[in-house]
Amino acid sequence: MLLYRQMKFRLIIALLAAAISAAAQTGAPADLSARVDQIVAAAMRQQQIPAMSVAAALDDHMVYSRAFGAADLENAVPATVETLFRTGSIAKPISAAAAMTLVDSGKLDLDAPLEKYCAPFPRKPWPITTRELLSHTAGIRHYQAGEIDSTRHYAHMPDGFAIFARDALLFQPGTAFHYSTYGYTVVGCVVEGASGERFQNYVAEHVLEPAGMTHTFVDDVFEIVPHRARGYQKIAGQVKNAGLMDSSYKIPGGGYVTTAEDLVRFADALMDGKIVKPGTLVQMWTPLNPPAGRGTSNYGLGFGVLTIDGVKYVSHSGGQQGTSTSMVIIPERHFAVAALANMDAVRPLDVVRGILDLYHMPYPDRPAK
């Protein structure tokens, strides 16, 4: 057993070294690229991460894009920039953007009761709006014990409502903040009702295609999806296969696979007005706070938003079985960075912050310069 573990560790290190040495040069200065390589390699060693994909863009130019390590440890498959990682909750900004394209086209009223668009969701004592769903102020609960490990497959968006929709709301909608992946399942139903299309088809046509996201797909456990990474976890310091999970109950809130490059392209497309109108993006990137006395929120419509010395910091992270993800956008600098790991409960934000520092971008632990 000890020999096997030593061989597995050597395999991870060998694949990491090969990925670094074979990586294609990008638009970043050589010294910055080498320093990013070092940041990623250090994070992977310290956190025992099998594979990472990292990309950054400045002024619509991809300045860094590389992949490291093993996409599949058992078969010694190296990760490449085309390796697909689970998004986790970074699916939420993609879904929010899809909903806002319907606002732009006049097909969706953010403040209309959601039953106008999503008849299958049961009525509650108070009306719920799409704006409240997108901002996590609808009062719909998050996971309960064991639910995150669901392996049941749901063929249609509203079928997943069976898990949570009959439960009471946590509070009157619009009066408090409570993060809810289930709320985004309802967003998916709203998108289908307002568009008259299947959710994933609408997202593909109105978000993925305009952004050039050619490597982003629904994480269907039954489909053959080329380049999809295997996922891992750590148990008592040992790398193990990730737990099983079928994300069909939460596609809008955590059911896609993607690459770091595609997430950066998504950010660029938003900043360039290729997906939603500029005024719509302002709404998405403005925190929607509950009434005074009921707490504060740094969440807009699909994104977390901070202002650091007058500079806007827009972000989202994700984590689920076999993945940890982080994406940050600095709109005023037209900068975007994303880092994806094929292991749950690790910190890709450590890599993202290192890159932000190298490019002199603001982040919460360091003031803007």
Residue whose tokens read 């085309």: 82
Q: What is the pLDDT averaged over residues 32-37?
A: 96
What CATH topology corresponds to 2-85+228-239+256-358? Answer: Beta-lactamase (3.40.710)
CB proximity list for 7: less than 8 A, separation 6 or greater: none
d(CA 115, CA 193): 9
Residue 30: the pLDDT is 75
Find the farthest-apart pair of alpha carbons in the chain and give their distance in angstroms, rounded: 63
Query: Which residues neighbour 290 within 8 Å (Cβ) at sequence distance 6 or greater?
Result: 137, 174, 175, 176, 177, 296, 297
The string of pLDDT tens digits covering residues 106-152 is 999 999 999 999 999 999 999 999 999 999 999 999 999 999 999 99
Tell me the average pLDDT across 193-204: 98
Banded pLDDT at 33 (limits 50, 70, 90): very high
pLDDT over 50 at 34, yes or no: yes
What is the pTM assigned to this prediction? 0.92
* pLDDT tens sequence across 291-339: 655 667 899 999 999 999 899 999 999 999 999 999 999 999 999 999 9
Domain boundaries, the chain: 2-85+228-239+256-358
Summarised one tens digit per residue, pLDDT across range 200-220 is 999 999 999 999 999 999 999
Q: Is the pLDDT of residue 228 over 60?
A: yes
Binned at pLDDT 50, 70 and 90, residue 1 comes out as very low
Mean predicted lDDT score pLDDT of the chain: 93
Residue 15: per-residue pLDDT:
52
Q: Tell me the two tokens of residue 75.
A: 């078969």
